[in-house]
Amino acid sequence: MRISELANPSRFVRAANLVMPWLSGAAAIVFAFALYRAMLAPDDYQQGATVKIMFLHVPSAWLGMLCWALMTVAALGTLVWCHPLADVTAKAAAPLGAAFTLLCLVTGSLWGRPEWGTYWVWDARLTSELILFLLYLGVIALWRTVEDPSRAARAVAILTLVGAIDLPIIKFSVDWWNTLHQGASVFRLGGSTIDPTILIPLLLMAAAFTLLFVTLLLAAMRNEILRRRVRTLRLLQASAAG
């Protein structure tokens, strides 16, 4: 079965039903292993044990951005190719991305209090991440405000494309502005600067989070397809009764 054949919603639901138990099992196993390695990781020379918050904070930040990037691709799918599953993907992904971005803000705030002495500071990276969270909320609000799913999808697609400009701002904010948040240490030219004893658990947690995200996304997409069936049936029911 080719990927393009999955564009049929019913086929997608059947494929998702098959794949999801394995994915969720894999996510659980990787999470267990990653948490185990995270607990074993050494304390930071300056920060002490609070560096362990990083194992939550950084993967959720990555996922929050990855999710918007996925929504951007879906937006193109809706606007350019009218792909049937593009709308479903975009709508299902939005709450997940919002949740991970919120987790990033909350864990970052809890890390910042012992680190810098304050729960929040209006520097470039934190502000642009907060803007991303507000953009997510705006997209979710837009999905809920427009009645017709296909019209909603087009409106959301445009908002998603415009909002995508926040992603490079977040990424490069620590380079472009003088910020309190630390600079890039994983994805940079010249390789990572983090010690492997901390880098490995971090990457493991990122993998666990990603597996969780994919599982949740497939489940949410399945729910959205079912929701649209319900809507169609209800419209049929209403027009038959009338």
Partner 1 sequence: MQATAHIEFIVAAYAAGVVVIVALIGWVMLDYRLQRRILAELETKGISRRAARESADE
Partner 2 sequence: MTPLSALLVRDMRIAIRVGGGALIGVLFFVVVVTLTPFAIGPDLALLKRIGPAILWLAALLASLLALDRLFASDHEDGSLDLILTGRAPLELVIAAKGLAHWLTTAVPLIVAAPLIGLLLNIEPPAQAGLVLTLLVGTPALTFIGIVGAAIAVTLRRGGLLLAIIVLPLTVPVLIFGVAAANAAVAGPAPFGTPFTVLCALTLASLVIGPFAAAAALRLDIE
3-state secondary structure 177-220: CCCCCCCCCCCCCCCCCCCHHHHHHHHHHHHHHHHHHHHHHHHH
Residues 47-76 that bind partner 2 (CB under 8 A): none
Measured distance between the N- and C-terminal CA atoms of the chain, rounded to whole angstroms: 42
User: What are the CB-based long-range contacts (under 8 Å, 24+) for 229-237?
Assistant: 231/149
Residues 121-160 that bind partner 2 (CB under 8 A): 121-123, 130-131, 134, 137-138, 141, 144-147
- State the burial class of residue 234 (Cβ atoms within 10 Å of its Cβ: 0-12, 13-18, 19+): exposed
Residue 85 in tokens: 């599953």
Does residue 11 interact with partner 1 by CB under 8 A? no
From the list 3, 187, 230, 242, which residue makes contact with partner 1 (rule: CB under 8 A)? 230
The gap from C-alpha 138 to its chain's centroid, in whole angstroms, comes to: 15
- The option from partner 1, partner 2, none interacting with 121 (CB < 5 to 8 A, set by class) reads partner 2
- The option from partner 1, partner 2, none interacting with 134 (CB < 5 to 8 A, set by class) reads partner 2
Binding span for partner 1 by CB under 8 A among 63-71, 97-105, 132-140, 159-167: 97-105
Binding span for partner 1 by CB under 8 A among 45-53, 82-90, 134-142, 172-180: 45-53
Cβ closest to partner 2, residue 4 vs residue 148: 148
Interface characters, 72-101, with partner 2 (x: CB under 8 A) = ------------------------------
Helix orientation angle between 124-145 and 54-76, rounded to the nearest 10 degrees: 50
Q: Which parts of 117-165 fold into alpha helices (H)?
A: 124-145, 149-163
Q: Maximum distance among all alpha carbons in the chain? A: 73
Nearest partner of 51 among 103, 107, 117, judged by Cα: 107
Q: Do the Cβ atoms of 116 and 180 come closer than 8 Å?
A: yes
Binding span for partner 1 by CB under 8 A among 69-77, 123-131, 140-148, 229-237: 229-237
Can you give the binding site for partner 1, defined by CB under 8 A? 10, 48-50, 52-53, 56-57, 60, 95-96, 99-100, 102-103, 106-107, 110-111, 113-114, 212, 216, 219-220, 222-223, 226-227, 229-230, 232-234, 236-237, 240
Site residues (vs partner 2, CB under 8 A): 109, 118-123, 130-131, 134, 137-138, 141, 144-147
